[in-house]
A = this chain, B = another copy of it.
């Protein structure tokens, strides 16, 4: 490969660029990654990692490194409203309430620079360097080289050096001011015409305000403020300086640190607050917008703030950026590995733009409520006591949105990779959320705790395959005595050379894969088997056909009680809504979302249905269809 040829050129080393770079560097791609800042974020910026994002970071082996920085954890949000004496708490609400089945029911607060550091260390370990401070000066998809169709011009920010490279893909993670987006003349649609100017201040305070270690939204007669605890005993305050609904609206309106502090003191009365030190302070206007397209040619892509901007209130920016990047990363990987046709790339925009639209809808409702002045308690006749939870509009919106803000509300629509009754693959054994399974395609697999057979370790089933770019095929085996024939039939049909399992088998058969736990047969998928049986009763070589037994580190006993399904004998089966006797097969996309669910049955049907699903996903004929050609 010539030195100026890259698989992907990534512009911007914020959350979206780093996540993409991390995935693709791990999977062996050659990346050119630049950022126009001389160094990573030093202070401030985004800082909220939502529960689902933390699952993702754990799946990448990065959670422990994040936690080493001792981030603040937000379990509850407190709501404060005006009262006769100043402000009073109207109630608190879990930030990730119990109705959401989350492993980590809290928001993790840590400044963006520390998070960037974790990713940068990882990409460097995998051979990618962030080139700083460099910027993009031009690009074109000229197709001069059909393998590397995109030419990209890069330059040092001081203009002393420049470089022209060719790439298979160009990605803009440049943030709200995206050169790439401007060049492509992609417009921004404003969902909400109201713009705001925000002041944000990170620092160490001393205060009599009792909820300073909670996330708080405070409305007072002196204005509104949001309190967010931070690592290292810090607290972040968001204060709205101006709104386009103000009479004297000026988007360039600013405020000094002292003014913002005075404002905070006024809002927090009767409590006192003072600052030991201020770590970061900034005032910036926020418009709420969404890019009309995320790509024009499926070669030049954008993600993160380049595609969607919104208020920082719900702590969604970085999380949406992470998920944009992971969604694109595995799709590029599958196309470039020959697993999937180029058309897979079209699902990046359709899936991620929908989520951004949902986010902006939510944000608009939330921000509007936040800035609306609510009548003070004193003004309301018969005001409820402070200890009651007053269900005003703001709190209602907040509650309704918890699933969305936690990250578990993401629901991709049916398409090639998210099976539905209107999918190209038709077979009577597909199960739907109306019939035979509780799972919904396009949503994350629920968590489930099981016991690994080989070492009796109690593990998180949904975390057992790391983010390695492979599909995860969960074979829920029900009762071994019931399904033994169905499993051996499935194994037999999977062994035929035209099956979904055999089609992408490793070509270098001679290579020793004895110690390869996750992908011994093919890097296209990883296989897991879960039995409704106590661990000690599972003799892998007795109950499993040899092809399944090869994945012996991924055989589990569904024998751990779960408070969410207290009556179930096999909690993991029950949480998936699968028959505890007969099981079923759940296909999970490389990014953790359910792709398809198939009944486990004797005969060829189960494998046929999987062949059809993966046939559609990969754009190939599989199984009988191919064999009969």
Taking beta carbons and an 8 Å cutoff, which residues of A are in contact with B? Answer: 64, 67-68, 72-76, 91-92, 94, 106, 204, 206, 210-214, 229, 233, 276, 387, 451, 454-458, 514-515, 535-537, 539-541, 553
> How far apart are the CA atoms of A451 and B75 in the complex, in Å?
10
Residues of B contacting A212 in the complex (Cβ-Cβ under 8 angstroms): 454
Q: In the complex the two chains form, what is the Cα distance from A151 to B36 in whole Å?
A: 61
Query: Is B455 touching A73 in the complex (CB atoms < 8 A)?
Result: yes
Q: What B residues does A540 contact at CB under 8 A? A: 210
Closest A-B pairs by Cβ, 5 of them: A76-B456, A213-B455, A75-B456, A213-B454, A206-B514
Per DSSP, chain A at the interface is: mixed
The answer to whether A455 touches B214 (Cβ under 8 A) is yes
Q: Is the CB of A72 within 8 A of B514?
A: no
C-alpha gap A210/B514 in the complex (Å): 14
* Nearest-neighbor residue (CB-CB) of A70 within chain B: B61
Bound CA–CA A233/B514 (angstroms): 11
A92:B456 contact, CB within 8 angstroms = yes
Question: Complex: how many Å from CA A110 to CA B527?
Answer: 28
In the bound assembly, the distance between CA atoms of A458 and B102 in angstroms comes to 14
Contact residues in B for A75 (Cβ distance below 8 Å): 451, 455-458
Return chain B residues, CB-CB under 8 Å to A73. Answer: 455, 457
A-B contact pairs, 12 of them (CB 8 A): A73-B455, A73-B457, A75-B451, A75-B455, A76-B456, A91-B536, A92-B456, A94-B456, A106-B457, A204-B515, A213-B553, A276-B515
11 new A-B contacts at CB < 8 Å, known A91-B536, A106-B457? A64-B64, A64-B68, A73-B457, A75-B451, A75-B455, A204-B515, A206-B514, A210-B541, A213-B553, A214-B454, A214-B456
- Taking CB atoms, residues of chain B closer than 8 Å to A68 are 64
Q: Is the CB of A229 within 8 A of B455?
A: yes
Q: Check A536–B64 contact: CB distance below 8 A.
A: no
Kindly list chain B residues whose C-beta atoms are within 8 Å of the C-beta of A514. Answer: 206
A91: chain B residues at CB < 8 Å are 536
B455, A210: Cβ atoms closer than 8 Å:
no
Note all chain B residues with C-beta closer than 8 A to A72. 455
Q: Give CA–CA (A211, B455) in the complex, Å.
A: 7
Smallest distance from the beta carbon of A97 to chain B beta carbons, Å? 12
Report how far A67 CA is from B210 CA in the complex, Å: 35
- Which residues does chain B contribute within 8 Å of A210, judged by CB atoms? 454, 539-541
Could you tell me the distance between the alpha carbons of A455 and B535 in the complex, rounded to whole angstroms? 39
User: Is there an interface contact between A536 and B92, defined as CB atoms closer than 8 Å?
Assistant: yes
In the complex, what residue of chain B is closest to A214 when comparing beta carbons? B455
* Closest chain B residue, CB of each to CB of A92: B536
* Chain B residue nearest in CB terms to A76: B456
The complex places the Cα of A599 from the Cα of B458 at a distance, in Å, of 39
Residues of B within 8 A of A455 (CB): 72-76, 213-214, 229
**A389 → B minimal CB distance (Å):** 9
Chain B min CB distance to A516 (Å) = 11
Q: How far is the CB of A559 from the nearest CB of chain B, in Å?
A: 12
Bound: A456/B456 CA distance, A: 33
Question: A211, A229, A454, A455: which has the most chain B beta carbons within 10 Å?
Answer: A455
Best-surrounded residue of A67, A74, A536, A539 (most CB of chain B within 10 A): A536
Which residue of chain B lies nearest to A451 when distances are taken between CB atoms in the complex? B75
Contacts of A553 in B (CB 8 A): 213
